[in-house]
Amino acid sequence: MKQKETSWNTRETKGKTPQEIHEAGEEHTSSSMNTPLRPDAFELSDATKMEMIEDHFRQIMLILGLDLTDDSLKGTPHRVAKMFVKEIFSGLNPANMPATKLFENKYKYGEMLIEKNITLYSYCEHHFVPIIGKAHVAYISSGHVIGLSKINRLVQFFAKRPQVQERLTVQIAEALKEALHTDDVAVIIDAEHLCVASRGVKDTASSTLTAHYSGKFKDPSKKEEFLRLLQV
């Protein structure tokens, strides 16, 4: 086990001091639209991952000085491990990608379709604390449509990862383009980051806005229409 854990050190952090790693995280840099995963990310089963996380989280709690014999705390390592693998980070596994069945656009509806105020819960990859907000998504049919709930499920799938908001916005947009066979997609995310609100600067009044426009939504008039309709 020890040898396996050592091999999981990343090139980005190996040889760097804790201060250098911290400063890189504070800059909120992201090198790719793809979530940074190791090639062996899915070699372990979910059950094995939960067992390992449970053991490591138990050690964290012990280091913090918590009494794990207390009735309220003794089940926490298992609960956290299950939550990490099966819930809040389940979007890391491509096997959990929601199916997006297409339907013919029999209504011949050619205007933008907007799904707004999609509830979004994600986790900041720099501090592993929540990102809470709303996603607003629009597309113009190229001849096919998808069920409205599938848009919500796609948003939630990519949110269920350690994330930065910029990457999350692009991932949702690119997945919709691929699913719908169209570039005419727009995505806006408005979210609060608890790494800002609950620690560091402790600013509880600010939120972060990110946007992605492609295809017809790059046209200023379409972009303006989309933004106007979000206010309705």
Bridge partners of 28, per DSSP, are: none
Q: Please tell me the predicted confidence (pLDDT) of residue 20.
A: 55
Q: Annotated catalytic sites, by residue?
A: 124-127, 165, 193, 195
Q: Please tell me the predicted confidence (pLDDT) of residue 17.
A: 56
Q: Please tell me the predicted confidence (pLDDT) of residue 11.
A: 43
User: Per residue, what are the HEC states of 6-34?
Assistant: HCCCCCCCCCCCHHHHHHHHHCCCCCCCC
CATH architecture of 2-88: Orthogonal Bundle (1.10)
Domain segments of the chain: what residues?
Answer: 2-88, 102-230
* CB proximity list for 109: less than 8 A, separation 6 or greater: 141, 145
Low-confidence residues of the chain, pLDDT below 70? 1-31
Of all helices (H) and strands (E), which one includes residue 3?
Answer: helix 2-6
Q: Please tell me the predicted confidence (pLDDT) of residue 28.
A: 52
Token pair of 58, please?
């138990």
In 3D space, the residue among 153, 185, 158 whose CA is nearest the CA of residue 172 turns out to be 158
102-230 CATH fold: GTP Cyclohydrolase I, domain 2 (3.30.1130)
